[in-house]
Amino acid sequence: MKKIIEFFIRYKIWTNVVMFSVFGFGLIFLSQMRYSFFPEVKPGLITIQVVYPGASPEEVEEGVVLKIEENIEGLPGVEQVTSTSRENFGNVVVEISRDADLDKVLNDVKNAVDQINSFPLDAEKPVIFEQKYRTRSLGIALYGETDLHNLKTIADHFRDELLALEEISQVKIDGLPRLEFSIEVAERDLRCYKLSFDDIRRAVAAANVNITGGKFDTKSEEILIRAYGRRYSAKELYDIPVRGNPDGTVLYLKDIATIQEKWEDVPDRTYYNDKPTVILSIDQTESEDILAIAEKAKAMVASFNETHSQIHATVIDDRTIPLMQRLQLLIKNGLFGLFLVVIALGFFLNLRLSFWVSVGIPFSFLGMFILVSLSGIAINVISLFGMIIVVGILVDDAIVVAENIYAHYERGKSALDAARDGTVEMLAPVSTSVVTTILAFLPFFFLDGRMGKFMWQMALVVISALLFSLIEAFIVLPAHLKHSKGLHPHQQNSPLRKKIERIINRFTHQIYAPALRTVLKHKWITIVMPIAFVFITLGLLVSGIIGRTIFPFIDGDTLPVNISLVPGTQEATTDSILTEIERIAWQVNKEMSAKRTDGHELVLSIRRDIGKNDFGENGSHTGKITLELLNGEIRQMDSYLIANRLREAVGAVPEAQKISFGRTSMFGKPVSISLLGSNITQLNRARDLMVQELGNFGTLRDITESSQEGRREINITLKPRAYALGLTLRDVAGQVRQGFFGQEIQRIQRGKDEIRVWVRYRPQDRANLSQLDQMRIRTPTGEYPFSQIARYDIKRGISTINHLNRLREIRVEASLANEDLDVPPILDKIQNEVVPRILSQTQGVRVSFEGQSRDQTKFQRSVKKVFPVALLGMLILVILVFRSYLQAMMIFSLIPIGILGAVWGHGIQGLQVSILSMFGLIALSGIIINDSIVLIDQVNRNLRAGQKVVDAVYNAGISRLRPILLTTLTTAFGLGPLIMETSRQAQFLIPMAVSVAYGLLFGTFILLLLLPALFLVMNKFRYWTARFFSDTEVTYESVEPALKELQQKNRRTI
């Protein structure tokens, strides 16, 4: 390695080629990088969906979900299975283990489901797919003075134009039910013409087809024989013959039925500022650029509005706005941090040295862009944060190398010898410090949990930059310093430089040196002080003075209000309640906006959705409104304050079974408790107790549970006469289903729309219970009133049935009344006090903490697996470099000290310690030991030079003070602007930055005082141990590994 370094020092042109190559390729790859909001990660989920029209949740559970769960149980690579059974639909989600092969598990799941041959006849074929990465880019609202059919036509055309763009591949239309052809028959007409629904079904299916009849082979050509009978509109169905009569007349479908093209009865309506609206939702895939998508979509919106007067298009939920705000914020803070780093370099080093050290920053960054771009990473919030973390670390190795080269030059060596010897001398300690930092970031590639899967991109950014910083420090920097005037023999310092040097020397010899002498004199007291600091820090955490949470509240610019009424509630009732909440929301906006001095409205628009909500429910009883708020940077008010005021203004909603105000974290609810078991009665009791207990917490709000009652159900049982007529329950229930729910006859593909053809009673013939009694049940021997062959009773069913790992699940969730509250103490109280009380009053019930708690558990479990491996690797490396167990342990003792400093940093900044803080602590563990490696290496060099132990330690502290302070300050300065940022867009990243900066600052302060004292204590331990076990005379110096190696080397030389 020495020859390689000397080669690049001698031949500067090679160094410049390397540098300019990295600069050139880096700029090329940077220009080609994509943008995204968050990193694109695979969800690791497989979904199985089964449509079972007309089935109750119990029927879906029994006929579909239980069979799927049984068949996929025990498949390798499956971590968890959840399922939902609701009316007409079953959904099973398989969560894959992090280390499993997703494609293999997907094939196993498909094979397992394909083996099931006992699905109900009316159930559709299961759809099995891997959930792909999708993230919302923006939405386009289309609204105006027109009907829904015209809106659909315009929306379909708009969607086609969007999909024709190269940048866009995913566009979904919301707010439109599906179209259907409804053939509606009166019971009296069926009796009059002696028909059944099956007769109509067979007639339509037989006539509404296209058939190939073969071909003619003539001498000159082949002629195909085809019959075209397919109808593509409701009117074309009128002339389908149902039956030919003996008198030669034909009974047509139009004679007995009303046929219309209409929207499905499934509610799916959207309103934007109280106007009927269709929403085009544009998603970004893992290979697309969100900024390019938004640019093209916005251009199309502008063009659309220029050519349409009655229909208006508006961009909503534009995710590029907060993305650009965050990117610009991070870039601004990163550049300011870079500026502070350069200022710090200029203060501690002479101008020319600081310039060439600073060159390492763009060199390492552009080199990093090469590797990062090749790996497919986009520029996003997480990768940018990695750049901010590393901006101060990049110059650490260059600082040490440059400072050591300059020290060799001041000893009288030539520029070439100083550059070569100073670089080679620092090769081992600097390489070790960089590799230990890389090892500290490696666990990020294996962290579990949703947030953990994001952080590997930050780690790759840091590691890539550090690798190129090594190239710069050992190849580029020495060559440039050798030819720099900074090592010129006639170089004179400026008056400013001389003044700065006097300040640094005064601090070194008048402040630090006396403090170090005092510490070395009272070394035992010094090493006890950090122990007291540990107990003080623990007390601050336990008492809540320094808060704790799982995931900090990350505010946004939308505020949803979700509602769920009693199942079976008519769509009009749900809409009226949502409309009233919307009216109150505008009143709250007027009230709170009037208090502002800038004249801005807090609420910009309100979207109302009927038929779905964020509880995962759908149907006419569900809905939500979404308030689009003023941008957070202008608003300067947390959205939960608006939500609390709106909740207060709305008051109680008696019709609502569930209602919630405000955002839910992407990581789930802070309090999410699953009650599991097979006994429904016991589960319901546990649910009631849990809701009651959580209601007693003044710190919680919006308490919801997943097991709400369903619609009222009519339960049919047969009378003896039915059996005498040869009827089965399936026969009777099937005919009732045909009349009241309908029977799907066929599906017609018209353009891009798949239209289903249904036959059923007219709406007025299925409006009340008396019509069920009057319905005729048809048999081969005649038709009979329903009331003669069957009876029924009415009861309330279940809306949704949830399973977690094959057990029935009722999930109870709650939000915080104040987002600044500490979550862990609340969860501890629930787990230690509430749960035991509930379990003592129920039987066969288990409790599982989900939501944020589960994500935290997965994260902690993965940390326990991979972080010790990384620490062990770092420890082994340091042991091999210093060839001393005790010196390695001394270096690693700074890690917990740095963690304590990070905790105090959260208290100083008024932040809660969270999972995001933990990411910073993991990174800190590798950064904080770098300076201690350099200090211990210098102590060993002093010992080999013949100095006494105390002198070696003291002189090492004095000589290494400047590079240690400089490396620490550059890292802290690089993160400082982000830490001090008040913008809401930065709050997500500040806990990680605080962990690194404060931990490093405090750790360095302790390092400069504690480590020298600890070295002397360890030296005394070595000395007394050697005296006890050795027969020869020992000294404090002779027991140190550095001198032992030197003595062995001298003996081999002799």
CATH says 135-178+267-318 is which class? alpha beta
pLDDT, residue 1010, reads 86
pLDDT, residue 925, reads 82
Ranges of the chain whose pLDDT falls below 50: none
Reference 859, options 809, 793, 917, 820; nearest CA is 917
pLDDT, residue 741, reads 87
Using DSSP's 3-state secondary structure scheme, residue 814 falls into strand
What is the chain's length?
1054
pLDDT, residue 975, reads 82
Using an 8 Å Cβ cutoff, are 689 and 832 in contact?
Answer: no
User: 3-state secondary structure string, 910-926?
Assistant: CCCECHHHHHHHHHHHH
pLDDT, residue 591, reads 92
Structure tokens at 458: 């930050």
- Please give the full DSSP string across 86-116, using - where no structure is assigned: ETTEEEEEEEEPTTS-HHHHHHHHHHHHHT-
pLDDT, residue 490, reads 52
Going from the C-alpha of 809 to that of each of 84, 296, 684, the distances in angstroms are: 10, 45, 10
pLDDT, residue 487, reads 60
Using an 8 Å Cβ cutoff, are 918 and 824 in contact?
Answer: no
Write down the pTM of the prediction: 0.76
Which tens digit of pLDDT belongs to each residue from 69-110?
999 998 999 999 999 998 888 999 999 988 888 899 999 999
Q: How far apart are the first and last CA of the chain?
A: 27
Structure tokens at 241: 């013959």
pLDDT, residue 28, reads 93
Q: How far apart are CA 741 and CA 765, in angstroms?
A: 12
Structure tokens at 766: 């299925």
- List phi, psi (to 5°) of 171: -135, 125
Q: What is the CATH number of domain 45-130?
A: 3.30.70.1430
User: Which secondary structure element, helix H or strand E, spans residue 599, and what is its range?
Assistant: none
pLDDT, residue 889, reads 87
pLDDT, residue 1051, reads 64
The topology under which CATH files domain 555-664 is Alpha-Beta Plaits (3.30.70)
Domain 2-37+323-489+500-549+856-1049 annotated CATH 1.10.10.10: no
- Please give the full DSSP string across 1015-1042, using - where no structure is assigned: HHHHHHHHHHHHHHH-SS---TTTTSHH
Place of tokens 């971590």: 79
Using an 8 Å Cβ cutoff, are 1003 and 928 in contact?
Answer: yes
CATH says 711-801 is which class? alpha beta
Going from the C-alpha of 201 to that of each of 90, 184, 240, 1026, the distances in angstroms are: 27, 12, 11, 99
Going from the C-alpha of 21 to that of each of 14, 25, 31, the distances in angstroms are: 11, 6, 16
Establish whether domains 45-130 and 135-178+267-318 are of one fold.
Answer: yes
Which tens digit of pLDDT belongs to each residue from 758-799?
999 998 888 888 888 889 999 888 889 999 999 988 887 777
Domain boundaries, the chain: 2-37+323-489+500-549+856-1049, 45-130, 135-178+267-318, 555-664, 675-708+802-850, 711-801
